[in-house]
Each structure stands twice: as C-alpha cells, then as structure tokens.
Amino acid sequence: MPARGSVSVALVLTARTAALLAASPQTDEGVRLFDERRLSECRATLEAAAHRDPSDARAAYFLGRALMAQDELEAAIPWLEKAVALDSGSSEKQQYLGRCLGFLAVRASFLKQASLAPKIRRAFERAVELDPDNVEARLDLLEYYVQAPGIMGGSREKAQMQIAEIARRDPMRGYRAVGRIADHEKQFDVALGEYAKAARQYPAALEPALWASNVGVARKNYQISFDALEGFLARNPENLPACYHLGRVAALSGQRLDEGEKCLTRYLAYEPAKNEPQHPQARAYLGQIFEKKGDRQAAKAAYEAALKLDASLKDAKDGLKRVS
C-alpha cells in the first residue's frame, strides 16, 4: 500500500496536470486565430478567455505571443510572466518570455538593459534546464552570451559550450550556432561558409538558405540572398515557403520585381502550415512590389487585402498610407 505522502503528491500532480491540459473552446479558437495570424481577432478572443479563467496558462501565453507579434512588447511581458507563473515547468513559455524581454532590451537605454539582462538570462537558462533538447532555446541563450557584455553575463566560453550542445543534438543547427558567432564578429564569409556546409549536408532543408539570405538582407547585399534562395529552389522547386522568401527579398530590395511578384502570387495560391509565413504578410510584400513598380492602384488593393486578413499588420498600414 502506498504511503499517504506519495498519494497526496500524486493527487496534487494529477490535479495540476488536468488544470494545464483542460481545453477551453475559447482558448482553442484564440490559438487557431493566432496560427492564422489574425492577430486582432486573436487578442480579443484570448483576452476574454484569460479574464474568464485567470488560471488558463495557455490563454495568457498566446495572448503574450500575439502582443509580441504586434510589437507591443511591454504589454506582452505581464502575460508571458503570468503564463510562466502558471506553468513553471514549460520550457517554451520561459523561452518566449526571454525573447520578449530581449526584444525590449534592444530598444532600451543602457540602464534599462542592465535591469532587463538578468531576467533575460534567467529565462533562457531556465528554458534550457527544463528541456535540454530545446535547441531553439539553446540558440537564444547562445545569442545572449554572445551579445551581452561580460558585466551582464555575456561569455564567449559559455557560448562555445552551447555550440557543442547544439551540434550534438541537432547537427544542422550546429552550423547555425557557429555561423551566429561569426556573424556577430562580422566574419560574414565564415558565417556564409557554415550555412553553405549545412545546405550541402541537408539539401532539402530550407533553413540554411534562410540563414544565408538573412545575412544578405542585413548587409543589404541582396545578391547573397537571391543566390541562397535560388540555389535552394533549384534543388526543391516545389517548396512554396522558399518562393515566399524570394518574393520578400524582391520587395525589400526593389530588385527582380517581376520574379518576386510571380513568387508571391504563387504563394498566395498555397495554404501555408501554421509555422510557415501567412497570407497577410505575403500580400503586404506584394503591395511593396507593386508600389516599387509604380502601380499604386495594385499596391493599394494588395495592402487592403492584407489588412482585411490582419488589421494590425504594420507593413500594410504604412504601405496603404503611402499609396492612398
């Protein structure tokens, strides 16, 4: 017969698990809207769910994520902190709290950064402690160790330790980890070399092409971006998310606009998965392409279509102001 203490502990754990897993139809609907990037509707739905049940960690978490996606970082943080408090064993929730704090720190004064830094580091370190196989959290922690000054807990030695752990668990993202340090140190050719190795070893994976493309976008050397994405599409011609990203680079650069228009139009005939770029942003980039081609009427229609799907989309709002 089990001891009384073990029975009571089991009951507490069972009750806690049941509370965390309890399905709220309103929360489910809010998460569905979040996945579809219908962020304004998502927020209203999740706010109602969170106020109806203050113990709903999932509603608080996705409400925080929605606010993050709308760039309302200070409003997002209390919801993410609440989600972490309600579900302290969730690596993912800790990770996104760290990300939100980190995005806020990038814009903050040095004094504000100093106050945020311990919270960011603790969130990422705790995410890794809770799930050592959460490679994305390890990459976030690596970024922290690389970017933060030593007085705030930055450490190249700790960054190198994370590289080893990432590569052991996910060899492809091991190349990403090495490349991120090289990128931070402005050794761009080294970073691109790492991403090229990953692309050769994992020819069906889009991520290495995106890593290289982002280096090109950040440096405004868009040929790097086009080469990486076109090389991937030559191997994987039916990969529609890659087509979206090529259209994005065309919109941002003002180059290869006809090709970018074709790519984004093709993407809009595709139903993306929840972890893939959604149609509102694709329509906003299409609007940018039309705008740069001098077709204000088509640009206006594209921006309006984007806002009809996601009324909070800043790129589309700004674009519509320019062409109206």
Average per-residue pLDDT in the chain? 92
202 belongs to a structural domain: no
Domain around 298: 238-324
pLDDT tops 80 at residue 6: no
Query: pTM for the complete prediction?
Result: 0.86
290 belongs to a structural domain: yes
How many Å is the maximal CA-CA distance in the chain? 80
**pLDDT reported for residue 12:** 44
254 belongs to a structural domain: yes
The CATH number for 313's domain is 1.25.40.10
Q: Which two tokens stand for residue 253?
A: 């650069």
Average pLDDT of the residues in 80-91:
97
Instruction: Find how far residue 297's CA is from the centre of its chain.
Output: 32
265 belongs to a structural domain: yes
Q: Which residue has the tokens 């969130």?
A: 123
101 belongs to a structural domain: no
Compute the CA torsion angle 210, 107, 314, 247 (nearest 10 deg).
-20
Percent of the chain with pLDDT over 90: 84
Model confidence pLDDT, tens digit, residues 153-205: 899 999 999 999 999 999 999 999 999 999 999 999 999 999 999 999 999 99
What are the CA-CA distances from residue 63 to residues 68, 278, 299, 309 (Å)? 9, 18, 31, 18
- 14 vs 204: CA distance, rounded Å: 42
Average pLDDT of the residues in 269-283:
94
Q: How large is the angle between the packed helices 73-86 and 91-107, nearest 10 degrees?
A: 160
261 belongs to a structural domain: yes
What are the CA-CA distances from residue 322 to residues 199, 251, 309 (Å)? 39, 15, 19
What's the number of domains the chain is made of?
Answer: 1
308 belongs to a structural domain: yes
SS3 42: helix
316 belongs to a structural domain: yes
Picking from 216, 262, 261, 267, the residue whose alpha carbon sits closest to that of residue 239 is 267
